[in-house]
Structure 1
Amino acid sequence: MFGGVLMRILTILSGAVSALCLTAVAPTAEPAPRTYFGSPIPMNSAAPEPTSLYRMFAGRSADWGAGSFAYFAPDGTFRAVNAAEQSIGEGRWFVTTNSKMCYDANWMWRQDFSAQSSKVLTCARFRVDNAGEMWSTTGSRAGPWFPFSTANLKRGDLVTPQFTAFYNSFGVAPGNIKK
């Protein structure tokens, strides 16, 4: 009983797969639209001017998601907080002449009843395509590249109050993370 039903299902599936394969290779079929998501360097794109990249971040707070936020002060001060992981970062941020936005920060987090720290330099590359869409990657120039939205950048310092509270809970004063 099950053998007959199974054979009918396999016959139907093999016919559907054959039709799908013929459609995919038919010379009259339209090629699938190219997606840029996670691709190498976005087509028809160029690095933004470093000054415009600086203006995009300066004086703004970024919502990185999952309770993680960063503030990019106009004077180059960088502060970040991740409430979920009870970690904080402090250092400086800058834009390079080849349109990379970097932050060089000392990070501190709770581990085994004490505070641990580490210094990390992170850089993001940016590109703008012909349609005006911004792309970024923290990987190499080869990517992967992802669409970048400024919707998560809010004017003002929305980080320092929570950042200071975490510092106080770690028992250190701001600016005193071990380097």
Structure 2
Amino acid sequence: MSTFRVLSLLCILGAVATFALGASEAQSKPSKPPAMSDPLTSQELYNLYSNRSWIWKAGAGYFANRQREFKSWTADGGGSYGLGRWFITDPGKLCFRAVWYAKSGNAPALTCFSHRKKGNAVFQKREPDGDWYQFKTTPARADDEYRKIRSGDYVTARMNRMKTRISRGN
């Protein structure tokens, strides 16, 4: 594999990391999940993400109910978009596998988040090396990351524009 190809793939994976690190802006980062917390059930995870878009600083991801399709775009690194599937694995774990496309090529990536609950709070961490932080509270707080998750598809139109832009080489 040429040096250019390796660098191109690293740029694409950097854009993927932007999506997954959007959650790192949360303030509370305990190194371990709260004591006496429980993993979210598959149904709870499904309810949190199904047919919702996760908006972040320079892009968004959409977790479609239909065929568990995952779509995403980011403006970072010259822009890229991702297409794949989202799924729920171990208790409390949500993952999405996507192929990310950029001007320089494409690369597959798998991203997973673990979720646990305690009382009125849901905690999240990116696997495998992320930090636990408070993701969602009831009642909602102004700094909840979950406030960036909105019902509906806020991704497809922008992703299609990014796809066109990349295919034209602009």
Common fold: TM-score over 0.5 = yes
- The structure 1 residue matched to 2:89, chosen from 96, 108, 117, is 96
Whole-angstrom CA distance in 2 between matches of 1:40 and 1:118: 32
Percentage identity across paired residues of the two chains: 27
SS for the counterpart of 2:72 is strand
* Structure 2 Cα separation of the partners of residues 62 and 49 of structure 1: 20
Are 2:80 and 2:166, in contact at CA under 8 Å, matched by a contact in 1? no
- Give the C-alpha shift of residue 36 in structure 1: 6.0
Q: Given the two structures, how large is their TM-score scaled by the length of structure 1?
A: 0.67
TM-score, length basis structure 2: 0.70
Extract unaligned runs of 5+ from structure 1. Answer: 1-34, 173-179
1:68 aligns with 2:68: no
More helix by share: 2
State whether residues 38 and 146 of structure 1, in contact with CA within 8 Å, keep that contact through their aligned partners in structure 2: yes
- RMSD (Å) for aligned C-alpha atoms: 2.0
Q: How does 1:105-144 map to 2 (within 5 A)?
A: 105-110=98-103, 115-130=104-119, 132-140=120-128, 144=131
Counterpart for residue 41 of structure 1: 33
- DSSP-derived class of the 2:112 partner: strand
Matched residues in 2 for 1:49 and 1:118: separation?
A: 31
Q: Which has the higher contact order (CA 8 A, sep 6+)?
A: 2
1:171 deviation in Å? Answer: 1.9
Residue identity opposite 1:44 in structure 2: M
Larger Rg belongs to: 1
What residue ranges of structure 2 are gaps of 5+ in the alignment? 1-26, 136-144
